[in-house]
Structure 1
Amino acid sequence: MQQPELLDAAVVRAWVSTAARALAEARAEIDRVNVFPVADGDTGTNMYLTIRDAAAAVRAAPADAGGARLLRLAARAALLGARGNSGVILSEWLRGLTVAATRGDSLAIALDVAARTARRAVAHPAPGTILTAAESAAAAARHAEAGGMVGPAGAPARLSTTDAACRGAREAALRSVGALEQLRAAGVLDAGACGLVLVLRSLAAAQRAVSERGVSKGGGSERDAPQGQAPARQVPGGDEPDGERDGVSEADGSIEPVLLDIDLRGHATPAAPEDGAVAHASGGQGPSRAAVASPHGHRHDGDAGDDVELMFVLERSAVAEDFSPGAVADALRADLDDVGSSVVVVGGGAEGGADDARALWQAHVHTADLDAALGVARRWAARGAVSRVSVRHLAVPPDRWAVVVTTSAPTLAAELARGGAVVVLDLDVPPTADDLAAAAFGAGAPHVLVLAPEALQQDVAGADVVAGPQDGPDAAPEVVRVVAPGDLHLVAGMSALAATLDDPGEQDADVSAAVGAVVAGLRVGGGPAVTVGAIVKRLVAGTPTAIVTLLPDDGVPDATVQVLASRAAAVSDGADVVVMRTGRPGDHVAVGVEPLAAEAGGPA
């Protein structure tokens, strides 16, 4: 039976929802084998969250939207919501597939365009990763579409284009352990390649379901193309698909779960490949500098012990005189490559179609010099708009609790990230509640503390991006919100969270109260550097003090900061004095005083 094409609206709807469910189920297993380029254990989660946003956009589309429109919506949502290195690459693969499919290319050609587009987005490709799997899938699809006979153990059996692509990607994933030193040393398959296998298998399952139900109308709409395959089967770790579950319709949910069916771990270390054996392959981002040993015992590009991940979205008018999507991406990629590694820049088209006059790019870099990387973002902000700026540390995996904060202080953002926070940075376009909600859901912990101003807190817990079941593989985290009016409250809140979690007598239920009490009891003030000594003395007067925090702007000389710190220690009777620069221009110093016994405080 001939499978319906990718432009069939029923196929698109079933595909993205099935892929989201499949990645939700497998994300923990994929996370555990994530060792390249950095062993930060989030590839499965990042790929899932990226596809989840695409599925949400398709779910929200009008019922009569055609396949081309649905693909564009999915690609745009994936680009905007891409998380991490693997999610950004996946979003570009989907964008390339969409561009080719909507201009009428066959599926095999579209897969080839997707693989080449994704590869170009990576500054320094390496073999054996998601891009190698994409190329292998495209090659197998072209062979099948040309009439090639592909069967197990050499038996002649013609595969559909999609099934051939699935087989090609799977074979590349199985070979990946021999392609990179990190994978060989750990005895694991590449996490991103395995994730792409699930995405392609989900496409094959969606095509079969639509075909077997006999509902394909040659690119028809959702109204005349219900999807699904009965009988339904319970999703492992989830509920029976009866009606809406995580945005998957009852019909979509009846497609049997797509499973990875690959042993990701425990592979014997193979012999090193012969010279040139993998030289033709391309894959995820590779070393742009000399590889060094990481604290995790793996090797990667750069020292992840001090690296942070910076991501941001650049938006420009698609009718600007100097507009050239490829040139913008190449220039931005080159700028980021000067300040970091693992550089990926994706996007550039008006993914929303003819009614979208704005072009979007998503940028990703690992860097030990956040100031330099943010300098790149600022320069591009002068030529467009930079939003969704996020910073996280690569060597601080979340445990029971994660923390999400927002600040406009670049240097403080680096300090907060190295303390374990996911930072949503106010650099050009102010962050929104949805940005915080997305960061909370993607933090990778069952409990998330959000420290942000009250204006951004109102809708965080109820935002669509974190709404969902509280059990199963795609469960939304528990989101606890504490109002933090300013940067000093962020520092105090993170300190309180760490102290609370370090106390074995504390329970998770006490976190909000413990952090909230410290934030509420903080005494704050500030002003020009010359006045801060007197301000500190006034704030600590009559109250035993535990911590004094000073946040000087960049215009305050180091010598002045040292004098202020000494005075603060003296007038507070030897309390701990913490100094962190804001990274903002100016000559002001903010002061926060945390009493030994927290008391309500306010601005001096």
Structure 2
Amino acid sequence: MPQTADEPDAVAVRSWCSLALEALGRERQAIDAINVYPVADGDTGTNLYLTVESAAAAVEAVFAAHATGTSVPSAADAVRAMAHGALIGARGNSGTILAQLLRGMAGVLAEGTGGDRMRLALDRAAAWAREAVAHPVEGTVLTVADRAAAAAGQAAPGADTAEVARAAYEGARAALDATPGQLPALARAGVVDAGGRGLVTLLGALVEAVSGRGPERPYEAPIPFVPVGGDDTECPAGDDGDGGGPAFEVIYLLEAGDEAVERLRGRLDALGDSLVVVGGDGLWNVHVHVDDAGAAVEAGVEAGRPYRIRITHFAADRAHARPEPARRAVVVVVPGDGLAALCQEAGATTVLARPGEPPASGELADAVRRAHAREVVLLPNDAELRHTAAAAAEQARAQGVRVAVIPTRAAVQGIAALAVHEPDRSFDEDVVAMTSAAGATRYAELAVAERQSWTTAGICQAGDVLGLIDGDVAVIGQDVPGTARKVLDRMLAAGGELVTLVLGENTPPTLAEALEQHVRDGHLAVDTTTYRGGHQGAPLLIGVE
């Protein structure tokens, strides 16, 4: 990173993420099209884009939280945020490996800057990425990373950061051009490795971030748009092609210790292939291709606490096996796994928003793609996701999908909208009906104050229970049941026909029973419906229609 001062180092990290995201946004379709290894499912460019988007969002969050705009975070904070964001947002085989590459670089760059640190960072990144893959294969992104690190190491003595980055980029270019000669699956398709192509793009962005100008020789090798998922039975998956390999891709974040993860590696290696486990310090991203997805998840449960579990059925995701698009689908952002199951039962495609981990626009756009429909209604269920949802809709529209974003501000509004969804209506009529149902639903949630602060209802102390109605603090209480009753009374004072209660993971079911009785006692004509929201952050969500 630049050595003129400590502060520009963080700015360079931010710039790198931004430039890389922009470049991958331009090139991801072309990279998707050459994705023939390890599975020809045409999503390497998309997965790299989503992984970098998560890294960039984490860096932006550090900048936003740092101060008032008169200073910037340290380089160490920025690179660690970048690596952490990539780890929690890694998608697919390529994204998981990229997360480990960034983690390796961050471990070195957090301790200092300069050309020598960049050499060491690239070397560690390549080594850590190779160690994370159970059975490394030459001709892949691992080979490209190795050659980039080797070229950086051969830069002139005393070279600055920009010179080392340029050397790494040139080494990666040369290695990428050689990949078809190393991997038969690539040679037969007439393409270079998709993951390696993505890494060259990232290194080109790095050159521009640290020098102020892009590479002198941008990579412009022709990239044929070959059909993915074709017959390649000579190359079994996990060897040098995609053949008739495992049926499922399983990815999850895992909280576990080092010893438990080593045992997990052995179990998953016996279950399938394309195993990549990256991370450390108690948090890991696990990726594997298996026939028994349940067994892969169970292995994670035995090792620790798996969450953000994503399971993809390759046969349904490959271009040659995709069914005809459905006429219409609904994509819903939900705060907990309980509501995710509820919405999935209603036929919706869900995106899980963990506390402090809002989905990025690429993740929402990916969910729209997975819905595989000509028309999609998107329910963000959070006021803060308005612009993110709009950006995702624009990405989907560029692919020919008709998308409408209903500005739902809470999960209970999304439930109300989904309840009146009718795919047999015209698209416009359905959107109007869902929008009306959401708009007619007032929403509230309970939260626990973390510190003393001023609110619209007065001064709260740490530990107080806050009742927020339509986003504003309306009640300050001492316990959840009492605060919930006061919130309900205020909401029902304006009338209502249906109360929806969504209980958090650790909220006892007796609370729902008590609140249902409270509603019956004071409002005879009002019905109450209760759902378990799972791990949603808030102990209670309330909707009144």
Residue number in structure 2 paired with 1:207: 210
Match of 1:343 among 258, 266, 275: 275
Q: Spell out, residue by residue over 1:519-565, the C-alpha distance to the aligned partner (whole angstroms, 9 max, x if none).
A: xxxxxxxxxxxxxxxxxxxxxxxxxxxxxxxxxxxxxxxxxxxxxxx
Which range moved further: 438-447 or 110-119? 438-447
**Counterpart Cα distance in 2 of 1:260 and 1:5:** 31
Hey, what does 1:162 align to over in structure 2? Answer: 165
Specify whether residues 176 and 302 from structure 1 end up closer, same or farther in structure 2 by C-alpha distance, changes over 3 A only: same
Select which of 80, 83, 86 maps to 1:72. 80
Q: Distance in 2 between matches of 1:208 and 1:507?
A: 53
Shift of 1:200: 0.4
Q: Determine whether 1:311 maps to 2:234.
A: no
CA contact (8 A) 1:312 1:363 kept: yes
Contact 1:4 1:11 in 2 (8 A): no
Matched, 1:362 2:275: no
> Is contact 1:136-1:169 (8 Å) kept?
yes
2:97 is aligned with 1:89: yes
Distance 1:55 1:123 in 2: 28
CA contact (8 A) 1:19 1:199 kept: yes
Q: Does the alignment pair 1:190 with 2:193?
A: yes
CA 1:123–1:140: 2 relative to 1, 3 Å: same
Specify the alignment match of 2:266 in structure 1: 334
Structure 1 residues 12 and 432: alpha-carbon distance in aligned structure 2, compared to 1, 3 A threshold: closer
Q: 2:312 aligns with which of 378, 382, 392?
A: 392
Give me the whole-angstrom Cα distance separating, in 2, the residues matched to 1:402 and 1:442.
13
Q: How far apart are the structure 1 equivalents of 2:277 and 2:45? A: 20
CA displacement, residues 163-212 of structure 1 (integer Å, 9 cap, x when unaligned)? 11101111111111222232122111111101000100111111111xxx
Note if contact 2:101-2:129 (Cα within 8 Å) is conserved in structure 1.
yes
1:167–1:511 distance in 2 versus 1, CA, 3 Å: farther
Deviation at 1:513, TM superposition (A): 7.6
Alignment of 1:369-518 (within 5 A): 369-381=292-304, 385-397=305-317, 404=331, 434=358, 439-443=363-367, 445=369, 448-449=376-377, 458-459=381-382, 462=385, 466=389, 468=391, 471=394, 479=405, 509=428
Match of residue 109, structure 2, among 69, 82, 101: 101
Mapped partners of 1:28, 1:127: distance in 2: 24
Q: CA deviation at 1:136?
A: 0.8
Tell me the amino acid that sits aligned with residue 274 of structure 2.
S
1:434 is paired with a residue of what secondary structure? Answer: coil
Letter of the aligned partner of 1:195 in structure 2?
A: G
Tell me the CA shift for residue 402 of structure 1: 6.8
Number of aligned residues: 400
The 2-side partners of 1:473 and 1:44 are apart by 15
Q: Structure 1, residues 271-307: CA drift from partner, whole Å, max 9, x if none? A: xxxxxxxxxxxxxx9945x78xxxxxx734614xxx2
Give the aligned residue type for 1:36. Y
> Given the superposition, is the C-alpha separation of residues 12 and 5 from structure 1 closer, same or farther in structure 2, using an over 3 Å criterion?
farther
Could you say if the C-alpha distance between residues 136 and 459 of structure 1 is closer, same or farther in structure 2, counting changes exceeding 3 Å?
same
1:302 is matched with which residue?
Answer: 245
Measured after TM superposition, the shift of residue 119 of structure 1 is 1.1
Specify whether residues 436 and 19 from structure 1 end up closer, same or farther in structure 2 by C-alpha distance, changes over 3 A only.
closer
> Which one has the bigger helix percentage?
2
1:435 deviates by 5.2
Rounded to whole Å, the distance in 2 between the matches of 1:147 and 1:432 is 42
CA contact (8 A) 1:201 1:258 kept: no
Aligned residue for 1:23? 24
* Residue identity matched to 2:251: M
Contact 1:33/1:190 (CA < 8 Å) preserved in 2? yes
* Percent identity (aligned): 37
| TM-score for the superposition, normalised by structure 1 | 0.55
Within 5 Å, give how 1:1-12 maps onto structure 2: 8-12=9-13
Q: Determine the C-alpha separation between the residues in 2 that align with 1:99 and 1:474.
A: 39
Contact 1:141–1:165 (CA under 8 A) maintained in structure 2: yes
Question: CA offset at residue 33 of structure 1?
Answer: 1.1
1:93-114 deviation per Cα after TM superposition (whole angstroms, max 9, x unaligned): 0000111222346211210100
Answer yes or no: is the 8 Å Cα contact 2:351–2:364 preserved in 1: no
One-letter amino acid of the structure 2 residue matched with residue 309 of structure 1: E
Unmatched runs of 5 consecutive residues or more in structure 1:
149-158, 210-228, 230-254, 268-284, 292-297, 317-322, 350-358, 452-456, 501-505, 518-601
* Conserved 8 A contact 1:188-1:266: no
Distance in 2 between the 1:170 and 1:421 partners? 42
**Which residue of the other structure, out of 221, 245, 257, is the alignment partner of 1:262?**
221
Q: Where do residues 550-561 of structure 1 align in structure 2 (5 Å cutoff)?
A: none
- Highest relative contact order (Cα 8 Å, sep 6+), 1 or 2? 1
For 1:293-343, what per-residue CA distance to the aligned partner results, in whole angstroms no more than 9, with x for missing partners? Answer: xxxxx734614xxx2322111125xxxxxx43xx44433322222323222
Structure 1 residues 124 and 469: CA distance shift in structure 2, 3 A: closer
Q: Note if contact 2:179-2:186 (Cα within 8 Å) is conserved in structure 1.
A: yes
Q: Which residue identity does 2:147 align to in structure 1?
A: S
- Relative to structure 1, the CA distance from residue 469 to residue 81 in structure 2 (aligned partners, 3 Å threshold; closer, same or farther) is closer
Which of 150, 166, 182 does residue 139 from structure 1 map onto? Answer: 150
Partner AA of 1:47 in structure 2: L
| 2:118 aligned partner, one-letter code | L
Residue type matched to 1:197 in 2? V
Cα drift, residue 378 of structure 1: 2.0
Cα distance, 1:515 vs structure 2: 10
Whole-angstrom distance in 1 between the partners of 2:126 and 2:236: 17
Q: Distance in 1 between matches of 2:298 and 2:9?
A: 44
Distance in 1 separating the partners of 2:255 and 2:262: 15
Deviation string 1:432-486 (CA, Å, 9 cap, x unpaired) is: 98359774233363965568xxxxx62188267545386579989755699999x
**C-alpha root-mean-square deviation of aligned residues, in Å?**
4.8
Larger deviation, residues 185-194 vs 365-374: 365-374
Q: Quick one: distance in 2 between partners of 1:5 and 1:126? A: 41
Deviates more, 1:102-111 or 1:399-408: 399-408
Tell me the CA shift for residue 80 of structure 1.
0.7
SS in 1 for 2:385: coil
Distance 1:266 1:73, change over 3 A: closer
2:484 is aligned to: none
Q: Is the partner of 2:316 in helix, strand or coil?
A: coil
Q: Structure 2: which 5+ runs fail to align?
A: 227-234, 437-527, 530-545
Distance in 2 (CA, whole Å) between partners of 1:181 and 1:493 is: 52
Residue aligning to 1:177: 180
Q: Find the residue that maps to 1:144 and give its secondary structure.
A: coil
Provide closer, same or farther for how the CA distance between residues 20 and 186 of structure 1 changes in structure 2, counting only shifts above 3 A.
same
Aligned-partner Cα distance in 1 for 2:383–2:360: 7
Relative to the length of structure 2, the TM-score reads 0.60
Q: Aligned letter for 1:109?
A: L
* CA distance, structure 1, for counterparts of residue 128 and residue 307 of structure 2: 24
1:129–1:164 CA distance, 2 compared to 1 (3 A): same
The residue type paired with residue 98 of structure 2 is L
Q: Determine the C-alpha separation between the residues in 1 that align with 2:126 and 2:150.
A: 10
Q: 1:99-132, CA deviations, whole angstroms, 9 ceiling, x for partnerless residues?
A: 1222346211210100111111112221111111
CA contact (8 A) 2:19 2:209 kept: yes
Residue by residue over 1:490-512, the C-alpha shift from the partner in whole angstroms, topping out at 9 and shown as x without a partner, is x9999x86xx6xxxxx8765675
